[in-house]
Chains A and B, each alone.
Chain A
Amino acid sequence: MKMSRRDFLKATSAGIACFGLAQLGFDLEPLRAYGARLKISGAKEVVSVCPFCSVSCHVVAHVKDGRLVNVEGDPDYPINEGALCAKGAAILSLTNNPHRVTKPLYRAPFGDTWEEKDWEWVLDRIARRVKDLRDRDFLPTNGRGQRVNRLESLFSLGTSHMDNEECALVHQAMRMLGVVHMDHQARI
């Protein structure tokens, strides 16, 4: 539905007026239930966790035909008890967002545009970059002849957006390569 700012204001003031009627004794429950049905009736409920601060409020995502149609605070979760802040309340528009990057992009050296590439091409090319750099710069020993197995010229930064399982694998992968320049949001 397309709604102008004016329509929005009209709708909300109507809502406020209705609220006034409710105080006078009108039963709005059936109306509210009807309104809710429009959006989430028949939707699957999936529990997730807000991706912002580490209060880690729980949300209930409503999914219909494979599409996210609504996200709200999880009333059962004992910490947020259904509440969400401005960012948490925006998860729907964060997820269904026209600005998302949806394809692997590549910018060639000295180039002035992004090019769309397929996964095979980018992952093979990155693997090649990693191996070439490691083969070139790997430092088996330090100046005192101690074995150090370091790859100092390759770094890894981020991210606290990762799940625990992803973090565990990233740490392992980086240490296997010999990476020591490794940091993330915990320090900034």
Chain B
Amino acid sequence: MTNHWIDIKNADAILIMGSNAAEHHPISFKWVLEAKSRGAVVMHVDPKFSRTSARSTFHVPLRSGTDIAFLGGMIHHILENGNYFKDYVVHYTNASFIVSDSYGFRNGLFSGYDPRTSSYDRSSWSFAVDAQGRVRRDPSLRHPRCVFQLLREHYTRYSLEKVADITGVSRENLLRVYEAYAATGVPDRAGTILYALGWTQHTVGVQNIRAAAIIQLLLGNIGMAGGGINALRGEPNVQGSTDHTLLYHLVPGYMSMPLADWQTLEDYNRANTPASSDPQSANWWRNKPKYLVSLLKGWFGEHATRESDFGYSMLPKLERGEDYSYLYLFDRMYQGLIRGGFIFGLNPANSVPNSNKVRKALDNLDWLVTMDVHHTETTDNWHRPGVDPAAVKTEVFLLPSAHRLEKEGSVTNSGRWLLWHYAAVKPPGRARSFGEMIVDLGNRVRKLYRSEPGAYPDPILKASWPEGYDADEVARRINGVFTSDKVVNGRRYRKGNLVPGFGALSDDGSTSCLNWLYCGSYTQEEGNKAKRRDPRQTPMQAAIGLYPNWAWCWPLNRRILYNRASVDPQGRPFHPSKAVIAWEEGSWVGDVPDGGWPPLSSGKGKHPFIMTVHGFGQLFGPGRVDGPFPEHYEPVETPVNRHPFSGRLHNPCYKAVTGDLDRLAAPADSRYPIVLTTYNMTEHWCGGGETRNVPNLLEAEPQLYVEMSPELAEEKGIRNGDPVIVESARGRVEAIAMVTVRMRPLRIQGRIVHEIGMPFCFGWTTPGCGDATNRLTPSVGDPNTSIPEFKACLVDVRKADRLEELAR
């Protein structure tokens, strides 16, 4: 989230799309309703009517996978009706940038596409520069090659008629949303967009969010109280575990994982440190070398010296363009290329697409270590229904894990607040925390490498690794410490003292820090700030629900990102009664500003979007692999074989694995005419491994069901409560029919398309509740993130004559 949970109350308009916040982030809705009670309009755009819809001002159903068409129509509406916030757009976004002549877009393809590799050469998506290397701009926004005009031209095609035709949303409903939301394009009104996996889990997932970001920039909603682009992050510490990076392609703090082409630290820095020739651009990532060297110091301690490239040479290096995410991991496992591994508190046998294949892939492992609080479909895969354990070679370990209340440490909420939790009780029996297990295991591996020869032991033996697990000690390592005595801002710090903030991190080896974003969270002066429980706030902070002394938030306790865009170039708040920051008597008050420089008009200020190279919000976003502007493409499995915006049916860059079990339905496949979307529920959690083992939660939601409209049910001869079979090109699933007007038939291109919805939390280890919905979903994904397309695929549904998975 750019903003935070409480800040939702400051919005004048709330667009909830790709999220069912009331059911999946229930307490967030407290703040949505607070905004509504203060007069905000709350709109829910979603295929299914849910409790979010029921509490919204109105609900608009649309077909899964058509969000960009819907949002593209809104961009068109805003531009054609002049609803954008002109000063903001001119001063703070790249609307005025002149795009190079080599950029183009034709019939669904941007310039630079190579059909042999299904990828773009992005070099033509660049800006025209002057002799000093600065981007050429036209603040009048009239130049035919400026971003603003290219944006207008791109979305001219997204007329109400075409958008209605492909999304299934009526013209009236489109206008209702567009007008209510575009009304926030004035200085003293703010709109927020709340999204979740309903946007990310598509082959156009990143571009869904890009489209929302463009709308927010046009309306001047980023940096404002009640504004922002707000990902309602799902799992318990998914924010912190992303920051600390349990992902292949990054190292902690959102820095690239080294590639084979970057053999030395110098190669890495050259490829990854952006340069700007504009003195008013903060270009914050220019500091990256300091953060990387401090990370290497954290990992290798005294072995990280300038002479040894700080240990950089010991790190693994990825192949450029190679994908090591779930989709590809399980495909390689299925092919027998993966031999062993760790699954910590995750249930991929239920929660990864095409789970029939995932389950077979797991059989190919020589050994598997699982750590969990319960038996799950993953831990017990070796004796799943229909499989003879005597034929499964895998050696499986199931290590009993402590749960949240049984250990101490920190988590990070969706608003980036760092929160400490204390251990209330001891883990049951012999259960241990993940931290205890991984530290102990690491030390045993180190002992083996010390006592006998082995492959390249250096990174293992030279690692700075704790003797035992102590969350407090690791929190200090994360914040960072000085490795020698040093004076910062006139204050003397001794070797081993905590670093006060990331401004003090250095690339000379004098600081060690496991994550620069968290630097400043644990200081000599104030201790562990995740533990702070102080509600004090100034009246200005109280007016927008800012709690600067409660816990701590990255970066540097800044609660609303890009807040310099909430003030005019003189530092005066655009919206004085909901001011985030203000320049008063030579200093900033309110939130922690995005950099302490004076306002822009002083000539000493910086452009507000400090994480981008040029300092401007990116309407034209050349950083994504599938285009600088979002463009509508159909899901890989789609009920139509054409759409009104171009001749290119699918995202030309989408990711997919191919194999004998990765069958796909053809576009408008008559065997699978129905769209399926999948979701969570309030009472169960993700793959369901934990919550199905909690009796009261299982009693509340005991069994797999499928929601379908009365019209579809009648067509198929299905009554409410009937057992049914849902089938895709990859698998079949038993479910109980829930016939409900919550699902509506949609009129698409002049004919009726049905959509059904199913939760995915049920699995065979809970007897009679049903089994994985993800046996239906395909292994295709977004080209930027490789996030699978869980939210739209094709199925058929029929009445079942007998049941094997479900108890009646």
User: Does residue B611 face the partner (Cβ distance < 8 Å to A)?
Assistant: no
Task: Tell me whether B30 and A94 are in contact (CB under 8 A).
Answer: no
Task: Tell me whether A156 and B238 are in contact (CB under 8 A).
Answer: no
User: Does residue B125 face the partner (Cβ distance < 8 Å to A)?
Assistant: no
User: Does residue B372 face the partner (Cβ distance < 8 Å to A)?
Assistant: yes
- Give every chain B residue within 8 A of A140 (Cβ-Cβ): 455-456
Task: Tell me whether B514 and A168 are in contact (CB under 8 A).
Answer: yes
Partner of B394, one of A84, A109, A133, A171: A109
- Give every chain B residue within 8 A of A185 (Cβ-Cβ): 234-235, 238, 241, 346, 686
- Give every chain A residue within 8 A of B24 (Cβ-Cβ): 53
CB distance from B234 to the nearest CB of A (A): 6
CB distance from A160 to the nearest CB of B (A): 4
CB distance from A130 to the nearest CB of B (A): 5
User: Does residue A17 face the partner (Cβ distance < 8 Å to B)?
Assistant: no
Q: Which of B234, B241, B685 has the most CB of A within 10 A?
A: B241
Bound CA–CA A94/B78 (angstroms)? 48
- Give every chain B residue within 8 A of A164 (Cβ-Cβ): 237, 240-241, 243-244, 409-412, 418, 475, 478, 518
Bound CA–CA A126/B167 (angstroms)? 52
Closest chain B residue to A83 by CB distance?
Answer: B27
CB distance from A169 to the nearest CB of B (A): 5
Task: Tell me whether B374 and A163 are in contact (CB under 8 A).
Answer: no
If A46-B424, A149-B459 touch, does A111 touch B261 (CB 8 Å cutoff)?
no
- Give every chain A residue within 8 A of B305 (Cβ-Cβ): none
If A103-B429, A182-B246 touch, does A173 touch B442 (CB 8 Å cutoff)?
yes
Bound CA–CA A158/B695 (angstroms)? 25
User: Does residue A157 face the partner (Cβ distance < 8 Å to B)?
Assistant: yes
Bound CA–CA A154/B337 (angstroms)? 9
- Give every chain A residue within 8 A of B338 (Cβ-Cβ): 152-155, 181
- Give every chain B residue within 8 A of A67 (Cβ-Cβ): 425
Stretch at the interface among B79-87, B658-666, B783-791: B783-791
CB distance from A140 to the nearest CB of B (A): 6
Partner of A111, one of B27, B389, B413: B389
Task: Tell me whether A156 and B246 are in contact (CB under 8 A).
Answer: yes
Partner of A94, one of B243, B248, B690: B690
If A56-B413, A154-B339, A171-B252 touch, does A107 touch B382 (CB 8 Å cutoff)?
yes
Within 8 A of B (CB), among A49-65: 49-58, 61, 63
If A135-B455, A166-B409 touch, does A101 touch B400 (CB 8 Å cutoff)?
yes
User: Does residue B181 face the partner (Cβ distance < 8 Å to A)?
Assistant: no
Closest chain A residue to B250 by CB distance?
Answer: A171
User: Does residue B285 face the partner (Cβ distance < 8 Å to A)?
Assistant: no
User: Does residue B439 face the partner (Cβ distance < 8 Å to A)?
Assistant: yes
Task: Tell me whether B397 and A163 are in contact (CB under 8 A).
Answer: no
Within 8 A of B (CB), among A99-138: 99-112, 114, 119, 122-131, 133-135, 137-138
Bound CA–CA A80/B4 (angstroms)? 13
User: Does residue A23 face the partner (Cβ distance < 8 Å to B)?
Assistant: no
User: Does residue B448 face the partner (Cβ distance < 8 Å to A)?
Assistant: yes
Task: Tell me whether A128 and B448 are in contact (CB under 8 A).
Answer: yes
Closest chain B residue to A105 by CB distance?
Answer: B398
Within 8 A of A (CB), among B778-799: 785-788, 790
Bound CA–CA A83/B391 (angstroms)? 49
Task: Tell me whether B694 and A163 are in contact (CB under 8 A).
Answer: no
Task: Tell me whether B397 and A122 are in contact (CB under 8 A).
Answer: yes
Closest chain B residue to A170 by CB distance?
Answer: B438
Partner of B419, one of A56, A83, A85, A105: A56
CB distance from A100 to the nearest CB of B (A): 5
Bound CA–CA A164/B433 (angstroms)? 13
Closest chain B residue to A114 by CB distance?
Answer: B398
CB distance from B784 to the nearest CB of A (A): 11
User: Does residue B414 face the partner (Cβ distance < 8 Å to A)?
Assistant: yes
- Give every chain B residue within 8 A of A80 (Cβ-Cβ): 27, 30
CB distance from B134 to the nearest CB of A (A): 36
CB distance from A4 to the nearest CB of B (A): 15
User: Does residue A25 face the partner (Cβ distance < 8 Å to B)?
Assistant: no
Task: Tell me whether A51 and B236 are in contact (CB under 8 A).
Answer: yes
Task: Tell me whether A163 and B410 are in contact (CB under 8 A).
Answer: yes
Bound CA–CA A138/B326 (angstroms)? 21
CB distance from A185 to the nearest CB of B (A): 5
CB distance from B254 to the nearest CB of A (A): 12
User: Does residue A11 face the partner (Cβ distance < 8 Å to B)?
Assistant: no
Task: Tell me whether B405 and A68 are in contact (CB under 8 A).
Answer: yes
CB distance from B440 to the nearest CB of A (A): 6
Task: Tell me whether A66 and B346 are in contact (CB under 8 A).
Answer: no
If A78-B6, A138-B455, A148-B260 touch, does A104 touch B399 (CB 8 Å cutoff)?
yes
Task: Tell me whether A187 and B340 are in contact (CB under 8 A).
Answer: no
Task: Tell me whether A48 and B405 are in contact (CB under 8 A).
Answer: yes
Task: Tell me whether A165 and B409 are in contact (CB under 8 A).
Answer: yes
- Give every chain B residue within 8 A of A161 (Cβ-Cβ): 235-237, 344-345, 404, 434
Task: Tell me whether B316 and A148 are in contact (CB under 8 A).
Answer: yes
Bound CA–CA A78/B7 (angstroms)? 11
User: Does residue B48 face the partner (Cβ distance < 8 Å to A)?
Assistant: no
Task: Tell me whether B345 and A61 are in contact (CB under 8 A).
Answer: no
Residues of A at under 8 Å CB distance from B? 46-58, 61, 63, 66-68, 71, 76, 78-81, 83-88, 90-91, 93-95, 97, 99-112, 114, 119, 122-131, 133-135, 137-138, 140, 142, 144, 146-173, 175-188
Known: A107-B396, A129-B395, A165-B409. 17 other contacts (CB 8 A): A53-B234, A55-B414, A56-B411, A71-B405, A84-B27, A86-B700, A87-B691, A88-B27, A104-B400, A112-B383, A127-B441, A146-B263, A152-B338, A156-B246, A158-B344, A166-B409, A184-B241
Sampled A-B contacts (7; CB under 8 Å):
A53-B233, A54-B235, A55-B28, A55-B413, A131-B449, A168-B514, A182-B247
